[in-house]
Amino acid sequence: MKKQNNIFADLHTHSTASDGLLSPSQLIESAHEKGLSVIGITDHDTVSGLAEAHRAAEQTGVRLVSGIELSCGWQGRDTSVHVLGLYINEESPALQELLDDQRDQRYYRALKMVDLLSGLDLDVAELRQRFEQAPEKVLGRPHIARYLQERGYVKDFQEAFERYLSRGKPAYVAKDHVLPEVGIEIIHAAGGIAVVAHPGLTSDWGDVWNRISRMPWDGIESYYSEHSPRDVKRFAELARQHNLVSTGGSDYHGEYGKHSDRLGNYGLTQELYYDLVSKCAEKGIKIA
């Protein structure tokens, strides 16, 4: 297929391993069809899709960059700061330990929410049983929402969150944050580069940057699907000033709503990609 633009590398996508619609191999096939040469898969807080993606990438000849998007934050800030790890070794013990901890925390947090729901006189006996029998403690807040819908307590997912599970609602339990500096450290331990994801989406960017600018970042995601040309210029300049690389990607989650048509249309040109590779080499990080 002939490409309509000159996007060479998309370093930010999601598969069904987190909240994307395409399986890792479908995602690789789509990237191939759209004419991308390099694709980064950066599922939220998991690397479980990467093994399948590597097998698919070998067959299509697309270069797969192993990645992850960590939700980090700190006390006093409601929304999380997303930290992209690219070119990581997904088998790194430090990374695995962090992900296991996060999974356990999600699980115990959700269990506390089940307790709170039971205090509200909702019948959650069967839900609790599902949690107790869940292998590997994989259940979390979405499973509670689904149960509430199944039992007819709410009409849909959204209502479950709006009535019970969101911040300020009766069954909400606050989450323990992974600090961004810890996220960066673990990405480094896994041999990857740590990148500030989509800074243009951060409404209080000035405050956030003040707090994080002295951390050992490697890059900023300057070329992002929802960045205006002005944002791109501004963040690419900020990266240069701080001797950081600029990465780029679509944040593709599958073909729906505002996320459709993103794959193949956002990211880095070949020139920008090789610029990234050589800047990383200068810093002593081998990624090519």
Tokens 């070119």: give the residue.
Answer: 87
CB closer to Zn ion out of 34 and 82:
82
CB closer to Zn ion out of 52 and 69:
69
DSSP element (H, E) containing 64: strand 63-72
CB closer to Zn ion out of 82 and 106:
82
Q: How far is the CB of 149 from Zn ion (least distance, A)?
A: 26
Q: What is the CA radius of gyration of the chain?
A: 20
Cβ-contact 134, 140 below 8 angstroms: no
CB closer to Zn ion out of 103 and 259:
259
Q: How far is the CB of 95 from Zn ion (least distance, A)?
A: 17
H runs (alpha helix) in 38-135: 50-60, 93-119, 125-133
| Residue nearest Zn ion, CB atom distance | 82
Question: CA 56 to CA 248: how far, in whole Å?
Answer: 22
CB closer to Zn ion out of 10 and 251:
251
Q: How far is the CB of 44 from Zn ion (least distance, A)?
A: 7
What track of x and - describes contact with Zn ion for positions 176 through 205 (by CB under 5 A)?
---------------------x--------
What track of x and - describes contact with Zn ion for positions 223 through 252 (by CB under 5 A)?
----------------------------x-
What track of x and - describes contact with Zn ion for positions 67 through 106 (by CB under 5 A)?
--x------------x------------------------
CB closer to Zn ion out of 15 and 111:
15
Q: How far is the CB of 198 from Zn ion (least distance, A)?
A: 6
Q: How far is the CB of 272 from Zn ion (least distance, A)?
A: 19
> The tokens of 94 are what?
């430090």
Cβ-contact 257, 213 below 8 angstroms: no
Distance of CA 27 to the CA centre of its chain: 15
Instruction: Report how far apart, in Å, the C-alpha atoms of 42 and of each of 151, 172, 255 are.
Output: 34, 27, 17
Q: Does 45 bind Zn ion (CB under 5 A)?
A: no
Question: CA 174 to CA 269: how far, in whole Å?
Answer: 41
Q: How far is the CB of 180 from Zn ion (least distance, A)?
A: 13
Cβ-contact 11, 65 below 8 angstroms: yes
Give me the count of residues in the chain: 288
Residue 135 burial (CB count, 10 A): 6
CB closer to Zn ion out of 197 and 208:
197
> The tokens of 229 are what?
């040309």
- Count, residues near Zn ion per rule CB under 5 A: 4
| Contact positions vs Zn ion (CB under 5 A) | 69, 82, 197, 251
